[in-house]
Amino acid sequence: MFFIKEKFHCVKQYDTTDCGAACLATVSKQYGLKIPITRIREIAGTDKQGTNAYGVIKAAEELGFSAKGVKGDKEALFSEFPLPAIAHIVVEGSLLHYMVIHKIAKDKIIVADPAKGLITYELDDFMKLWTGVLILLVPDVKFEKGDMTQGIFKRFFGLLVPQKNLIIHVFLASLLYTFLGILGAFYFKFLLDDILPYGLLPLLVSDGHQKRLIM
């Protein structure tokens, strides 16, 4: 019996133009990188017609994958190549679509269909859909695991944590600067309210001069 295991991910598409971006999001998630479909659409140049193979490869390379498109047949499916891989298929007779191949057995294939979820196909049924085109992806040295789906505040806070010592010093300096500013404001208020109106400024200056002489 060929069971679908939970370790296989499937990122669902928002609409029919998202299938290529959703497949790349699925592969990225399988390798430890969570990224929004909207971000992949931007990189891949997805339009009203969807995403072409070149766009998927371009976006994959931008995310840190080594990617290439290949064309093969039934025998090629049983040769050694990295999984997950993205397969180009035709559904409903004419609609171009992408799926992620997670696992291939003797007569069955587990795929992540962004429109339907995880599916197990009989090999012959899959061959009726597949155009023969595969996009192979392998993380290279530029690939980094992470979560790009986090909220803006959480991502911003994550960037600040490594700089916490610097931030503390800046915060303390800001407090000192604010305190001196408030102290200066009270001093000038004292001059304006209690010294200048009564002509006591010369006395204040003289008194200060005398204190310096005594010291």
Residue positions annotated with a catalytic role: 19
Radius of gyration in angstroms for the set of CA atoms belonging to the chain, rounded to a whole number: 33
Contact status, residue 39 vs residue 146, Cβ threshold 8 Å: no
CA distance 136 to 66: 8
Contact status, residue 65 vs residue 137, Cβ threshold 8 Å: yes
Tell me the helices (H) and strands (E) count for the chain, helix number first: 8, 8
The pair of structure tokens assigned to 138 is: 């392998």
The amino acid occupying position 123 is: L
Give the up-direction half-sphere exposure of residue 39: CA atoms within 13 A in the CB hemisphere.
14
Q: Which of 66, 83, 17 is nearest to 44 (CA)?
A: 17
CA dihedral 205, 208, 214, 215 (to 10 degrees): -140
